[in-house]
Amino acid sequence: MSFRKNRPTQEVNAGSMADIAFLLLIFFLVTTQIATDKGLPMILPPKSDIIDEAPLNERNVLNVQVNSYDRLLVENEPLEDISELRNLVYDFVLNFGQPGEKKKVDDVSDQEVFASLPISMKNYIRANLGSQLSSDGPSKAVVSIKTDRGSSYEKYIEVMDEVFAAYYKIYGERVGLTAEEYRKLNRNDPEQRYLYDEGKRGINKAISLAEPTRQEGN
- Predicted local confidence at residue 31, as pLDDT: 78
**Ranges of H-type helices in the chain:** 2-6, 17-31, 84-93, 110-116, 119-128, 153-174, 179-183, 190-200
Q: How much is the pLDDT for 217?
A: 43
Hey, where are the domains in the chain?
A: 58-209
CA distances from 65 to 10, 40, 61 (A): 74, 18, 12
Res 49: pLDDT? 46
The rounded average pLDDT for each run of 10 residues, N- to C-terminus, in the chain (218 residues) is: 56 65 78 58 47 68 93 94 95 95 87 96 96 94 92 92 96 95 94 95 90 59
| Distance in angstroms (rounded) separating the CA atoms of residues 172 and 161 | 16
Neighbours of 8 (CB within 10 A): 5
Q: What is the pTM of this model?
A: 0.74
C-alpha–C-alpha distance, residues 95 and 129, integer Å: 5
Q: CA of 53: how far to CAs of 50, 58, 65, 104, 143, in Å?
A: 9, 15, 24, 16, 18
Q: Which of 93, 66, 87 is nearest to 78 (CA)?
A: 66
Say if residue 108 is exposed, middle or buried (CB neighbours under 10 Å; 0-12, 13-18, 19+): middle
